[in-house]
Structure formats: C-alpha cells, structure tokens
Amino acid sequence: MNILIISGSRNREGQTARAVNALCKGIADGGEDSETLFLTELNLERCRQCDADGWGLCRREGKCVIEDDFASIVTKIEAADVVVFANPVYFGDLSESMRAFLDRYRRTTHIGLIAAGRGPGSFPSGGGTPAIAICYAGGSGNGPINCCASLERVLQTCGFDVVDMIPARRQNLEVKLPMLEMTGRWLATKPTSGPPFVPPKR
C-alpha cells in the first residue's frame, strides 16, 4: 500500500514533524510504507487565475499551465492509496505552502468531479482516495479546530474521502502522539468513511 504524507511545514525537526513521525511509526507497525513530501522544499507557484474570468486550463482540461513541481505531486497523489495532509497552523488556518498547493489542486480536480456528478455542494462520503489531516498549532495553541474545518472542506472539494481530521496543539501534543501511532496502524487498513466500526461483543 502506498501512503503519501504531504507536509506544509518547513521544519523537519519541529512539532508537526513529530506528529508525522508518530503517524509513520504506526503505519510501519501496520506493515505498510509511507513517503513524506515537504511542500516548502518544492518549487510551487501560486495560482495565476490565468483567464479574465479567473479560471484557465484547469477548468477546461483539469491541468495547470504552470511548469513547476505541482504536476509531480499530483502524480504521487493519484498513485497513493491513502493521503495525509500535515499542516502547521498559522493564524488559525492553512500554512502558506499548503494553501498554495491546494488552491491549484482543487481547480484541477474540479472538471473530473463535475463529470462524475460530484460538483460543488455535493460531497458524498466514500468514493475518493481516503485522506486524513493533522493540524498542529504551536504558540498559543489556538486555531487547530478552525483549521481542521477549513481543510476538511477543501479536501472534500478535491474529491477525497476524508476519514479523519486531527487537531493538536502545543499543550496536548504529548497526549496525541500515541493516538497518532494508533491512527497510523488504522491507515494501514485503508479505511473509508463507510459504516462505523462496531466493536465485537465480549
């Protein structure tokens, strides 16, 4: 199984990285491999809103006209069985690198979702690639819940099957790390947002 982790942090030794490392340990314990991409280490431009109406090739053909690392990330997402988005929270919202990528990605997925009858306002559970997100807030610790809500909406707009959103903050990260390991083991089963798990009777 191919589990792709996309990080919006530039610090490979920071707290968002600690959360990712705990998740990766759980994935490995579940017998699967993972790959982590750091968006800040890639060449990514912001959306140009190419045409006069603010759209462009993305709307017509599901492609982006900008020649940078965007297409290679999309290729990795398309090959992934599960995708994880790890976002350090700034101002209660997405990091700039995560926003730059997702702003373009949702535009390129738009035409395919419309063709499949999954346009704006229609975000059914299941059907897409399973995805989770981790939103970590340092400093005051404020904003991870708001960030999760914003990111969940974007991921649904991109057609992902969002199976979990995990808020974490400086004040509770130590508690969340074992939970993230368990989440990693769960991801190794390729979960979906289908019927809830019912524990067996004892």
Whether 4 shows a pLDDT value over 90: the answer reads yes
Whether 124 shows a pLDDT value over 70: the answer reads no
Whether 125 shows a pLDDT value over 70: the answer reads no
> What would the two tokens of residue 127 be?
């059907």
Residue 131 falls within a domain, yes or no?
A: yes
Residue 200 falls within a domain, yes or no?
A: no
**119-134 average pLDDT score:** 71
Q: How many domains is the chain built from? A: 1
Domain with 121, as residue range(s), is 2-187
The number of helix segments (H) and strand segments (E) in the chain equals: 6, 5
Q: Look up the pTM and report it.
A: 0.91
Residue 170 falls within a domain, yes or no?
A: yes
- pLDDT given for residue 120 in this prediction: 52
Whether 123 shows a pLDDT value over 60: the answer reads no
User: 22: domain CATH number?
Assistant: 3.40.50.360
- pLDDT given for residue 110 in this prediction: 81
How does pLDDT run across 134-161, given as a tens digit for each residue?
Answer: 999 999 999 999 999 999 999 999 999 9
How does pLDDT run across 42-84, given as a tens digit for each residue?
Answer: 999 999 999 999 999 999 999 999 999 999 999 999 999 999 9
Whether 195 shows a pLDDT value over 90: the answer reads no
Question: What Å distances lie between residue 87 and 74, 84, 155, CA to CA?
Answer: 18, 10, 13
- pLDDT given for residue 113 in this prediction: 79
E strand or H helix at 34: strand 33-38
Q: Higher pLDDT residue, 126 or 27?
A: 27
Q: Is 54 left (phi over 0), alpha (psi -120 to 50) or beta?
A: left
Residue 164 falls within a domain, yes or no?
A: yes
